[in-house]
Chains A and B, each alone.
Chain A
Amino acid sequence: MGERRIKGHMGVGPKASGIALVARDNFSARYDLDRLQGVFSRPTHALHGQSYVDMVLVLHTAKGGVATSWMLREMKSRGMSPAALLLNIGNPIMAQGAAFAELAFMDRFEVDITEAIRSGDHVTVDPGAGLVIVD
């Protein structure tokens, strides 16, 4: 399959690329992650046990509390953050955290992003252009 381009709302953070990790589940760094080990730790999460480090995380919506906004930068400072975060529906916390961490974040796509991208796809995220490219 050739290159696919998916439009979304303009996001925050720098351009980034990596391998996609996708699930039709939600996201909170506090609720779902073991940030020391770099894996999803919430037993009921669809990605339980999987590493998110350097991956382009593709999930449905933001959930839970406010801690993610500090935690994205904290994870990045230790080299334990995702490469980018794509959500169908974001919230202020994800955008604030991505802006603070200088991490690529986008949401509100023209399609359901959890169906348009598969785990293992190579993805380039350009938040300034509101564009995701699947190679």
Chain B
Amino acid sequence: MRLDDTEEAMRAGRMGAARRAAIEQQIQVGMTFDAEDFVQVSQVHLMADTESLGESGVEYLEAIAALPGEERRVRVPTITDPRGIDLCAYRKLKQAERFAELERRAIAALRALGILMTDTCINYQTILPPVHGEHLAFGDTGSTIYANSVCGARSNFEGGPAALAAALTGRVPRYGCHLDGGRRGTHLFEVKERPGSLSDWGALGALIGRSAGSYWTVPVVAGIDGTPTSDELKHFGAALASYGSVPLFHMLGVTPEAPDLASVFDHQPPEPQIIGRADLDGFYAAFGRHEDRVDVVVFAAPQLSIVEMQEVARLLEGQQVHRQTALLIATSPENKSACDRLGLTETIESSGAMLLKGVCFYQMYARELGEANGWQRLVSNSAKLVNIVSGYGYRPVLATTEACIEAAVNGRM
């Protein structure tokens, strides 16, 4: 890889040990993907939940935090993905004190690096929306695919250590989504019926993700009648990235790089794969239904926008969550403050639901959480969440927002 003077200085250790280690890691990754040089980034989004970090990851952060200020501080604005513990709610959720203590240590270390603890995966809705052509280092699959596809910004998946490295160096290896050639369409899908609900959009993303199959494919979606909302594209992209490890899609007539087919394919477009209502229905049916009992209903993954929060509050108004069922709703700290101010928190919590801030369910030690509370039968409107949690010991079911609320109130489906 070609290095400029600043990169050479970092590699030589003249800008401190942390930056040297960071750029060495980045060079290894860059060479693996044939990057010729680095590209500077304007912001970093860092996934560093303590379940993923573990003790060793927190110790790694603390070692950087102990360095002198000029060696430890990030070089570009850096914000955080959801945490593993909501320190206002963990006792009620029966989460162990040792997890909270690890969380406090991680937060202290991250702050010492100058990182803004935004604790959100919907940063593109709530913090600083990416701009067309902007090079980023985003560290959540959902935020990355939204930034690339909907905003036309440029980021690869930068997992926690890689996003931290980008924060310390201010750059990333230039490959994949940073290059024009990595953004061309490879697969074509034609949607015969516009998805109706957020869970429908997630199901569509899941089906395309399964079919696309690898990080290096770029699905192009045709046939969407009417511009989707930010929340619809959020659920679609999060599921696509979750099921397919895909960082970028184009939607004809919707996303900025796809005004028409000729703009996204280098040659003749491939034959489209057709997706209709029956495919979506089949996707739901594969999860079955919890007709006897529901242990927990979860709205998360991604965290809810303020508009989703209003909808959940409207559906819950005057209702009570069943005594044998828990209802968890996760949003960003900024949206939680807005919910407090707008009266949505009161409506939601008076139903018996728990409103969590700065966390996401699958990042909250989901296995231990389920074991402590006796939760297995889970219902969610998030196709991403139901994909993840079966490995954590849950039996998940995908349902619409309305059906989720009904399940929470009735204690069954």
Contact = CB atoms under 8 A, between A and B. Distances in A.
Interface of A: 9-12, 30-34, 36, 41-45, 61-71, 73-74, 76-78, 89-93, 95-97, 99-100
Closest 8 pairs (CB-CB, A-B):
A69-B159, A74-B54, A77-B56, A91-B215, A100-B161, A96-B162, A42-B391, A70-B52
23 contacts: A30-B388, A31-B391, A41-B392, A64-B141, A65-B388, A66-B160, A67-B52, A69-B159, A70-B48, A70-B54, A70-B57, A70-B160, A71-B54, A74-B54, A76-B56, A92-B29, A92-B159, A93-B159, A96-B162, A99-B28, A99-B29, A100-B25, A100-B161
Central interface residue in A10, A36, A70, A73, by most chain B CB within 10 Å: A70
A91 to B, nearest CB: 4
A24 B53 CA distance: 28
B390 A64 contact: no
B32 interface: yes
A114 to B, nearest CB: 14
B194 interface: no
A69 B390 contact: no
A97 B29 CA distance: 9
A66 B139 contact: yes
Given A66-B141, A70-B52, A96 B215 contact: no
Contact of B242 (A61, A65, A73, A76): A65
Interface string B36-62: 000000000001110111111100100
Contacts of A91: 157, 214-216, 245
A11 B32 contact: yes
Contacts of A41: 391-393
Contacts of A64: 141, 242, 245, 387-388
Contacts of A90: 32, 215
B55 A70 contact: no
Contacts of A9: 32
A45 to B, nearest CB: 8
Contacts of A31: 387-388, 391
Given A69-B162, A73-B60, A100-B161, 17 more contacts: A10-B31, A33-B391, A34-B391, A65-B388, A66-B47, A66-B140, A70-B159, A70-B160, A89-B215, A89-B216, A91-B157, A91-B215, A92-B159, A93-B245, A95-B28, A96-B158, A99-B25
Interface in B1-39: 25, 28-29, 31-33
B388 A95 contact: no
A44 B390 contact: yes
Given A66-B160, A69-B162, A70-B52, A61 B214 contact: yes
B362 A69 contact: no
Contacts of B159: 66-70, 92-93, 96-97
A92 B160 CA distance: 11
Contacts of A32: 391
Central interface residue in A33, A45, A95, by most chain B CB within 10 Å: A95
Contacts of B214: 61-62, 89, 91
A43 B141 contact: no
B162 A92 contact: yes
Nearest to A93: B159
B390 A92 contact: no
A118 B290 CA distance: 39
A90 B215 CA distance: 8
Contacts of A36: 367
B333 interface: no
Interface string B350-368: 0000000000001100010
A132 to B, nearest CB: 15
B49 to A, nearest CB: 8
